[in-house]
């Protein structure tokens, strides 16, 4: 059962209702960070008369019984959508958000040069990996905490909030001390213990779709975060595994308008991982925005050919600047046709 609360009610009235429901012994989630206030009641077997009584309360706008398994993430819970605010960035608003930076932090000089370059090119947030999950145990695994320190320095120098990945439950507290957005990578989308711990930080979360996950599985992973009391969730389509070897993954742009119909959560697209080829990144960036994505996550390197990780899919700052310019033009041209 979901209660959509009246926005014109006082916050203390919302909290009083939540306290009362918990005092009854009900399992309750209260979401207020990203949009209209919502209460989820997860205790099964409640009588219909109880829902009717709740609907009559002055603080309650409506009582919902979402038909989909992802109850809190369903579009009808927040028809106007959720906006995730990070510094001056609004993910889920009208302006496309650009998250850009290197796949991994290699050195202080490398990161600071790229951070300044992506800011000048029009990026909204800085991405960079301190811990890098790799298929081969012999590949570069990132700088660890030193990488987090360098990301914090880059934020101080450029003013760009930082997005970085957390790999396991033991890292959550440390990464949360540095990151503005905690990224859950494709491999960890269904690591439910990690999702619960990340939700508990209260920090914004960027949830990448697993490369073999259905859209329903992806939204149910988001539901773990929402059920943990954290509605600052951004979905990221990054491609799924197909049968075609010409590209790294199959970038599923069907997912963008579909997820916007199914869920109130904002969605961004990562065409770098989705294609694996820098030549395709500009075109797929424009296509993603035309499909209704709220933003992009792009890998950028000063010298992509020398990058320690994923150089083949990284673009240079000049290309990023052109992508940003064209993305804004595309967004303005198609805004009236985007399904909300």
Domain boundary among 13, 34, 65: 65
The first and second tokens of residue 46, run together, are: 């409640």
- Whether the predicted pLDDT of 100 surpasses 50: yes
Strands 205-208 and 233-237: parallel
User: What tens digit of pLDDT does each residue of 268-279 get?
Assistant: 999 999 999 999
- The CATH number that applies at residue 40 is 3.30.70.1140
- Whether the predicted pLDDT of 304 surpasses 50: yes
- The CATH number that applies at residue 220 is 3.20.20.70
Residues 171 and 237 in one domain: yes
Whole-angstrom distance, CA of residue 145 vs CA of residue 135: 21
- Whether the predicted pLDDT of 338 surpasses 60: no
- Whether the predicted pLDDT of 32 surpasses 50: yes
Whole-angstrom distance, CA of residue 116 vs CA of residue 114: 5
Residues 105 and 44 in one domain: no
Whole-angstrom distance, CA of residue 162 vs CA of residue 182: 9
Residues 91 and 59 in one domain: no
Whole-angstrom distance, CA of residue 221 vs CA of residue 230: 12
**pLDDT range class, residue 66, cuts 50, 70, 90:** confident
- Whether the predicted pLDDT of 339 surpasses 60: no
- Our count of domains for the chain comes to 2
Domain boundary among 16, 32, 65: 65
Cβ contacts of 316 within 8 Å, gap of 6 or more: 300, 301, 302, 303, 304
Q: Average the pLDDT over 309-315 and give the result.
A: 94
Whole-angstrom distance, CA of residue 65 vs CA of residue 55: 12
Residues 26 and 162 in one domain: no
User: What tens digit of pLDDT does each residue of 142-197 get?
Assistant: 899 999 999 999 999 999 999 999 999 999 999 999 999 999 999 999 999 999 99
What is the structure's pLDDT at 340? 46
Q: Is residue 70 part of a domain?
A: no
**pLDDT range class, residue 111, cuts 50, 70, 90:** very high
Residues 97 and 219 in one domain: yes
Whole-angstrom distance, CA of residue 303 vs CA of residue 207: 28
Give me the domain span that covers residue 273.
84-337
Instruction: Please give the C-alpha separations between residue 23 and each of 12, 18, 257, in angstroms, as whole numbers.
Output: 16, 9, 40
Residues 105 and 216 in one domain: yes
Q: Is residue 74 part of a domain?
A: no
User: What tens digit of pLDDT does each residue of 1-10 get?
Assistant: 999 999 889 9
Q: Average the pLDDT over 94-103 and give the result.
A: 96
Question: Range with the lowest mean pLDDT among 49-63, 158-172, 324-338?
Answer: 324-338
The pTM (predicted TM-score) of the whole model is 0.94
What is the structure's pLDDT at 334? 84
């Amino acid at each position: 059962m979901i209660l959509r609360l009246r926005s014109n009610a006082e916050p203390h009235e919302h909290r009083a209702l939540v306290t009362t429901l918990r005092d009854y012994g009900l399992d309750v989630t209260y979401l207020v960070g990203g949009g209209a206030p919502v209460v989820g009641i997860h205790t099964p077997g409640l009588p219909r008369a109880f829902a009717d009584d709740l609907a009559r309360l002055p603080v309650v706008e409506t009582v919902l019984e979402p038909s989909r398994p992802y109850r809190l993430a369903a579009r009808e819970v927040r028809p106007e959508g959720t906006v995730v605010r990070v510094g001056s960035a609004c993910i889920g608003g009208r302006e496309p958000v650009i998250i850009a930076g290197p796949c991994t932090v290699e050195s202080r000089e490398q990161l600071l040069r790229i951070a300044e370059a992506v800011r000048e090119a029009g990026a909204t947030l800085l991405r960079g990996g301190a811990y890098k999950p790799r298929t081969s145990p012999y590949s570069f695994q990132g700088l660890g905490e030193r990488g987090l320190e360098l990301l914090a320095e880059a934020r101080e120098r450029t003013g760009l909030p930082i997005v970085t990945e957390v790999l396991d439950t033991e890292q959550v507290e440390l990464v949360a001390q540095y990151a503005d957005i905690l990224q859950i990578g494709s491999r960890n989308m269904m690591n439910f213990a990690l999702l619960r711990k990340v939700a508990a930080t209260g920090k914004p979360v960027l949830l990448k779709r697993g490369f073999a996950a259905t859209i329903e599985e992806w939204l149910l992973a988001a539901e773990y975060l929402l059920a943990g009391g954290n509605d600052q969730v951004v979905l990221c389509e990054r491609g799924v595994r197909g049968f075609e070897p010409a590209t790294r993954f199959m970038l599923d742009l069907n997912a963008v308008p579909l997820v916007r119909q199914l869920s109130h959560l904002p969605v961004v697209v990562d065409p770098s991982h989705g294609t694996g080829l820098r030549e395709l990144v500009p075109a797929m960036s424009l296509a993603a925005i035309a499909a209704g994505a709220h933003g992009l996550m792009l890998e950028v390197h000063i010298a992509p050919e020398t990058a320690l990780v994923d150089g083949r899919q990284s673009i240079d700052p000049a290309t990023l600047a052109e992508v940003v310019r064209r993305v804004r033009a595309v967004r303005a041209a198609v805004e009236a046709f985007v399904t909300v």
